[in-house]
With several copies, the nearest count.
Chain A
Amino acid sequence: MNMNVSIAGIDWKNPVTVASGTFGSGKEYSDFFDLSLLGAVTTKGVSFSPWKGNPTPRIAETCGGVINSIGLQNPGVEYFLKQDLPFLAGYNTNVIVNICGHTVPEYVEVARCLSEEEDVDYLELNVSCPNVSEGGIAFGTDEQKLKEVIADVKRVSKKPLIVKLSPNVTDIVRMAQIAESEGADALSMVNTFMAAKIDVDSRSFILANKTGGLSGPAIHPIVVRMVYETARVVNIPIIAMGGVMSGRDAIEFILAGATAVAVGTASFRYPKAARQVIEEIREYMFRYNVDDIRQLIGQVRD
């Protein structure tokens, strides 16, 4: 049975990674299972200089969902290279480094640093960061800004570039096409949906930042639709994420056209969620006699 997939010319032993920001730098969950079991590990967002993130509370629960406003707290790329990357390099898996910036030059700087590192396999461009030059509007919701940041990062990146799309747009297929034509080697779909929760007893937002990003099974059906629509028109592979809690959720994405999936919020509920998803995909393949996972990609009946 083959679970191997290939993304931008690099082999994954199976189509499962973890979603940026839900797996720390990998250390913590390495207590629970062998990271070498994963197709790839995706790190939390790394920026050039350290970011403090948003005030707390930073997380809230909704029906089938989680809203977070971590605000990309991270100690910066230098710390990452010293403390986190060497740890990940010890595992037999691919390393996707998620990168963020407040301005295009910030993105470019961090991409340049990471490009020099042998142990980095891909850069994942998080375009949902607040664009400070444009008053906080995310790069990922503006066609022009999206083009610019991809083009500039692509120019310096020596690693395959995965562009992580924001779902908060009218036409995600168009954003995907822009990413493809600017040179993205793959797409991550999607980041979180802008949302808010109010505590009616105190009449205040639960998150200190008021709004945050919704993830979890609540969004899964919206993302299935987005992946399906996008996979039909782009020619680069899609890594799908949004509420993958089980192997079946992952298979839905793959049938819709994703080449791989990421397990995010599910890890908060069960530390071994990503490993379990891999096992459940294997069980599914076994039950239905699928001997190559690639036979499932995009194979939902039309």
Chain B
Amino acid sequence: MFTSKKDYLSAKIIDHRAMSENVRRMWLEAPTISTMAVPGQFVNIYVANRAKILPRPISICEIDRERGRISLVYRVGGEDTGTLEISRLRPGERLNILGPLGNGFPITNKSAMLVGGGIGIPPMYALSREIYEIFGQKSLCVLGYKGEGGVMYRDFQKMNNVFVSTEDGSIGTKGTVIDAIEAFDLEAEIIYACGPMPMLSEIKKLAIKRDVKAYVSLDSRMGCGVGVCLSCTVDREMPDPISGQDRVRICTEGPVFEVREVNI
């Protein structure tokens, strides 16, 4: 009777391994979520320790609808963080999660440029796969890393044209993703991006300058992830024409926004 489009479940961990020193990939058995999810959506992960109350919002990185699984790629925080506790879970153990949450990226058959920075890279992977699977189309992917040993680089190469920037210049263009975009004069009819806020602000400028649509996934500290607590709101550029509201919830109306909608 109360069928939510969000599934709360104790998901079995199928696989859990390190991708780099402090990034891990976890495959979870989550049949309902895998059926419903689209790239850009996220799940809430709950830490078993009852003293850690808030959810950890983590983007869905891969969706294996056939086997009813999703993967999450996440950064393991320092001492006493929730992600550190999560990182210790072994395959066969279970994790409480809720999802899929948020809106996800709108997909079109336009030529797409996917821009990911740091831990914003994993959600772009689901998107690039989806675009490839639906439209048979390779995307331009621009991945920004701190230095060598950046995660998922090889995964992306399978079905995309990949460009890389590193802060230290160890591989690809030295500098930011914007530097890489400019260095190679990369162009596309639509931009998707996820990464740190300064990067997203640059994407906004770029999108306006080039007059193309850009969908960005925003980060925020969240209380609930489902729209009740208003922890995660961001200013709209203009009040919503229907409700008159001038702030939107990243967890519910987002995390993906067309850059012109939000004041970032």
Contact = CB atoms under 8 A, between A and B. Distances in A.
A68 B231 contact: yes
B221 A22 contact: no
B233 A268 contact: no
Most A C-beta atoms less than 10 A away, residue of B54, B232, B243, B247: B54
Contacts of B231: 56-59, 68, 70
Pick the most buried of B224, B234, B243: most chain A CB atoms within 10 A of its CB: B224
A65 interface: yes
How many residues of B sit at the interface, in one of the four size bands?
35 or more
A61 B227 contact: no
A33 B2 contact: yes
Interface in A24-41: 24, 28-34
A31 B223 contact: no
A158 interface: no
Interface string A61-79: 1011110101001010001
Contacts of B247: 52-53, 73
Interface stretch (A86-94, A168-176, A225-233, A269-277): A269-277
A21 B229 contact: yes
Contacts of B185: none
A234 interface: no
A29 B53 CA distance: 18
Interface of B: 1-2, 4-6, 8, 46, 50-55, 79-80, 82, 96, 98, 220-224, 226-234, 243-247, 252
24 contacts: A22-B224, A22-B228, A28-B226, A33-B2, A56-B231, A56-B233, A58-B233, A59-B223, A59-B229, A59-B231, A61-B53, A63-B51, A65-B53, A68-B223, A68-B231, A70-B230, A79-B244, A216-B53, A268-B54, A268-B223, A268-B224, A268-B229, A269-B53, A270-B8
Given A33-B2, A53-B230, 17 more contacts: A23-B228, A31-B4, A32-B4, A32-B6, A44-B230, A56-B220, A59-B54, A59-B221, A61-B53, A61-B82, A79-B243, A83-B243, A248-B79, A265-B53, A268-B53, A268-B223, A268-B229
